[in-house]
Structure 1
Amino acid sequence: MTKEKSNTVKSVLKAFAIIEELDKAGELSIGELSKRLSMDKSTVHRLINTIKEAGYVTQNEDNRKYSNSLKLFAIGNKVVKSTGIKKIARPYLEYLADKTGETVNLGVRVGAKVIYVDKIESSSTIRAGLEIGMTVPTYCSGLGKAILAFTPEDALNEVLDEINFKKYTKNTIQDREDFLKELEVVRNKGYSIDDEEYVDGLICFGVPVFDYHGNPVAAVSVSFPKYRYDESKHHEMHSKLLLETSRELSKQLGYRSEHNF
């Protein structure tokens, strides 16, 4: 390898080291990165400007610190899908469908929307849910709320800036502050509920799926017609089964921490 190629490889490795350090910390200054990585400030400054120019890092205008952009998050979602999250999740979806008798969905976030990537239909004649490949707004879906509740703050704010909070039903959340309060409830419980917020007559329970970094890369939900919903019977059963699924499926993706729910 020539000296020029060797230097190029070293620069690429250092750039990845910066991205990985930002992934761990969330937001860091050039000085903090320099100290953490034992790298000259001038080198960090040069590399991070290149990464920023490519769109993989953003800078906070208030404190001048840097963080990874949604571009990396979107790529991560695509990688997870292409490397088999559907295959990994399928047995868990089948288990949920068998236990609940209702439609079970797997979705990933793309920007401010969620795309349905897999689904198992309810065994009942009358079913509820959307088709594979369809997208729905994150703010009025069980899948979307489950993912956004555990999305890092900077990335969450970028998503919220894209949302216009259009009203689909009488139950649709139409205010950013109200939605943030809803996400806090989801974080505390560990699961989300879409109570006729996107489609009249449809109720949905959702949970996040975490990767080895603790990022919510997908979500699983159970959806069914509202008329079949008996709160005293279904609320505890569905939430318990979904939380169990979230824990076990996340472990399959390398997640080892435990949330307090």
Structure 2
Amino acid sequence: MQRTMRSLLNQRVITENQRNDPLFLQSVARAMQVLSAFHTADGAMSLSEIAQQAGIDRSAAQRIVHTLRELGYLKRDNENSGFLPELRILDHTLDYLSLNPVIRNATPVLLELRRNIRERVDLSLFDDTRVVYAARMQSKRETFFATLVGHSVPTFCSSGGRAILSRLNDNEVRDILDRSDLNPVTPRTITDPVAILDKVQEAREQGYALAREEILIGEIALGVAITDKHDRPCGAIHVAGSLSDWTTDAFRDRVFPLASEAARAISRF
């Protein structure tokens, strides 16, 4: 199974600065910690599991879960053995997808790119040590995880992630690598920081990043960064194909000109 990265708010304990912030509502933070507990779940979670994962006591978890059920954000599973997210959470997903200017501007461009290339085209958004897929245009060969909006992969080893890193300065890149979990996703994932920096420099020089079998065995992917109006990287276009269909040179020569043009059309929104 492909490695999945999720944001965990990434703190289970409210910090001292947050406690002293008069505008910070600890009750809201705990509710979000409860919802975030499901990021690591493989199925329904019990109250005790939710409390442990959220870093709160069981009594607090019970009250928060009850409130979220009443509001339509959590539900009992069919076997009544635990709790699951409810449909209403998707309302907020739609809010994000429809109101985000990058996604809104990118969608017609990505559709045209997918028609021209006829391989999988993804839009990812930059979130520090990971990139999060916000749009996915499928090809004929897919896995379950390759279809999911919200799925994320490490910045350091994905083609789009390295393309994004190539638009940052070396100190910023090193800081991200220092805070990244550099464990391999596949046996071919490059995890040595010096080798990753070399790949980032290569992407700076070429205008794109290539990753061969670093996220999925048998797959080659090319990434091109998308920048905002301040010329800062905010996301990337990824195009992925099968190594049974493409050589590296043929894939690069076919994909890079079209992906680069698409990235320019989306950038500086």
Q: Deviations over 1:84-112 (max 9, x none)?
A: 21110011111110011011000012120
Counterparts of residues 68-217 of structure 1 (less than 5 Å): 82-122=99-139, 124=140, 126-127=141-142, 129=146, 131-217=148-234
1:225 pairs with one of 242, 261, 265:
242
Matched, 1:243 2:254: no
Residues 171 and 81 (structure 1), Cα distance of their counterparts in 2 relative to 1, 3 Å cut: farther
Q: TM-score, normalised by structure 1?
A: 0.62
Cα distance between partner residues in 2 of 1:100 and 1:157 = 34
Give the CA deviation at 1:235. Answer: 1.9
Whether the 8 Å contact between 1:127 and 1:224 is mirrored in structure 2 is no
Matched AA of 2:182: F
Whether the 8 Å contact between 2:211 and 2:220 is mirrored in structure 1 is yes
The root-mean-square deviation of aligned C-alpha atoms, in Å, is: 2.6
Whether the 8 Å contact between 1:209 and 1:249 is mirrored in structure 2 is yes
Cα distance between partner residues in 2 of 1:189 and 1:86 = 25
Cα distance between partner residues in 1 of 2:186 and 2:100 = 36
Counterparts of residues 26-105 of structure 1 (less than 5 Å): 82-105=99-122
Matched AA of 1:90: T
Cα distance between partner residues in 2 of 1:219 and 1:151 = 13
More helix, by proportion:
1
Matched AA of 1:155: E
Whether the 8 Å contact between 1:204 and 1:222 is mirrored in structure 2 is yes
SS in 2 for 1:227: coil
Give the CA deviation at 1:127. Answer: 3.3
Cα distance between partner residues in 2 of 1:242 and 1:174 = 26
Whether the 8 Å contact between 1:80 and 1:217 is mirrored in structure 2 is no
Give the CA deviation at 1:131. Answer: 2.1
Q: Deviations over 1:6-45 (max 9, x none)?
A: xxxxxxxxxxxxxxxxxxxxxxxxxxxxxxxxxxxxxxxx
Q: Percent identity?
A: 26
SS in 1 for 2:156: helix
SS in 2 for 1:96: helix
Structure 2 counterpart of 1:71: none
Matched AA of 2:205: N
Gaps of 5+ in 2: 1-20, 22-95
SS in 2 for 1:164: coil
Gaps of 5+ in 1: 1-53, 55-78, 254-261
Residues 81 and 189 (structure 1), Cα distance of their counterparts in 2 relative to 1, 3 Å cut: farther
Runs of 4+ in 1 over 4 A off after TM superposition: 79-82
SS in 1 for 2:110: helix
Structure 2 counterpart of 1:46: none
Matched AA of 2:165: L
Cα distance between partner residues in 1 of 2:264 and 2:246 = 25
